[in-house]
Amino acid sequence: MAIPWLLALKVIPWADVIEHAPKVLKAARKLMERPAPEAAAAPSRMAVDGPDAAPPSLGELKNRLIAAQVHLDQQAQLQAETSHTLAELAEQNARLVSAVDALRLRTRVLLVVVAALLLAQLVEWIAR
């Protein structure tokens, strides 16, 4: 079961991930800080029903306005939650990339230490 994970980790272009992580984090922060865009005016019911339709009553217009405002508030909340989630994901990605960099450095150091120890053992074996 570990082999597919190892294969997947080898397939991932880590250099590209590491290279683009700061850009993703910066873009997510910009998205998080960007103010919500103003809602575009909805088409009037007359434009939808046609010019021959009777004009809506004041109560119906008020109900439509309230429904539209509730919908806009929900959309703004959803957008804020989405941008917050994207910012969190970008920060997690940046932490992951820095952890992978640290692990890569540790692996190289360990490889050098093992090579030095093997060389020292070989020299000691030859000296006997």
Q: How far is CA 103 from the centre of its chain?
A: 23
Residue corresponding to tokens 């920060």:
91
Closest CA to 95 of 28, 21, 31, 32: 21
The total number of structural domains that make up the chain: 1
Does residue 13 fall inside a structural domain? Answer: yes
Domain assignment of residue 91, given as a range: 2-33+60-127
Residue 43 inside a domain? The answer is: no
93 found inside a domain: yes
In a domain, 74, yes or no: yes
In-domain check, residue 92: yes
Question: What is residue 15's predicted lDDT score, i.e. its pLDDT?
Answer: 75
Summarize pLDDT for 4-27 with one digit per residue, the tens: 766 667 777 777 777 777 877 777
What confidence tens digit (pLDDT) does each residue in 34-93 have? 776 654 445 555 455 666 778 889 999 999 999 999 999 999 998 988 888 888 888 888
Q: What Å distances lie between residue 35 and 29, 40, 48, 125, CA to CA?
A: 12, 15, 31, 70
Task: Please check whether residue 40 lies inside any domain of the structure.
Answer: no
Q: Is 92:24 a contact under the CB 8 Å cutoff? A: no
C-alpha 116/C-alpha 106 separation (Å) is: 15
Cα–Cα distance for residue pair 59/56, rounded to 1 Å: 8
Q: How confident is the model at residue 111 (pLDDT cuts 50, 70, 90)?
A: very high
Provide the mean pLDDT of the chain: 81
Q: Is residue 106 part of a domain?
A: yes
Q: Per-residue pLDDT for 110 more than 50?
A: yes
Q: SS3 of 38, please?
A: coil
What is the C-alpha separation between 102 and 40, in angstroms, rounded? Answer: 48
* Res 39: pLDDT: 47
How many CA atoms within 13 Å lie on the side-chain side of 72? 13
Residue 41 has what pLDDT? 47
Percent of the chain with pLDDT over 90: 34
What pLDDT does 37 receive?
60
Global pTM?
0.49
Return the structure tokens found at 114. 């093992």
15 within a domain of the structure (yes/no): yes
